[in-house]
Structures are given as C-alpha cells and as structure tokens.
Amino acid sequence: MLGFSPKTQIFMASDPVDMRKGFDGLMAIIRNQWKTDVFSGHLFVFLGRNQSLVKILHWDRGGLVLYTKRLEKGRFIRPKVRPNGDSIGLDALELVLLLDGVSISEVRRPKLWEPPKTKK
C-alpha cells in the first residue's frame, strides 16, 4: 500500500506511456517534459496505451520505488484531460479510485464547507 503525507502531490501523465520504460525512462519524462524534480517525494503515475497497466514512480527514503499494477481483465479509466497539459493532478482518493478501476469523472463529490473569508 502506498503511504504518503497530505502534502504529497500526485501527477499523472496525460498521454499513454510506453510501459517498457523503467526507472530511467520514466525519470526522463518527469524531468524533461514535466520539468519536475523526481526526488521531490511526489507520486508520478503512468498508464500504458491499452490502459491495463499502471506504473507509479516515487522517491522514498534514499531510493526510487516503481509500483506496477496490471489488470488481468478490464482497463484503468483515465480521467478527463485538459488540452495542452503534460500531466493531470490527482488527489489521494482519485488515485485509489483509479487503481480500483473506478471512473473518476463519474464520481460526484459534495461541496466541502469552508469558513467564510474575513475582510481585513
């Protein structure tokens, strides 16, 4: 199970990625295309072309970790992508839903209450 702090950001590739890529190939995407620090402790999620394989690259206490999940039946459902974006931002719940095969775009979340903003 993935464990991370609430400050950990989750980035998902907006386009399919060649799933033959390992640590170095995925790091190159993060550094060169996304211009992001792979050693930041954030999670970087990649889906393959046929969407039955997902890889998550994560820096954890002195080493890179590559999590992989392959669905034997069915496909992961990619969230809706905004045009001109290299990556999609996810939160922890959206990642869990993605890994369970739930369509994130069909999930309805209630609007969370926020305290009123005070005027200065």
pLDDT score at 30: 95
Identify which has the larger pLDDT, 110 or 41.
41
Give the pLDDT band of residue 82 (cuts 50, 70, 90): low
pLDDT in tens, 56-73: 999 988 899 999 999 888
pLDDT score at 58: 93
For the chain, what are the domain ranges?
13-75+84-106
C-alpha to C-alpha distance for 54 and 19, rounded to whole angstroms: 8
pLDDT in tens, 93-113: 888 888 887 777 667 777 888
pLDDT score at 1: 56
pTM score of the predicted model: 0.81
The per-residue b/e assignment along 45-71, b for 16 or more CB within 10 angstroms, e otherwise, is bbbbeeebbbbbbbbeeeeeeeeeeee
Helix (H) / strand (E) containing 99: helix 92-99
DSSP 83: T
Q: Is 8 within 8 Å of 41 (Cβ atoms)? A: yes
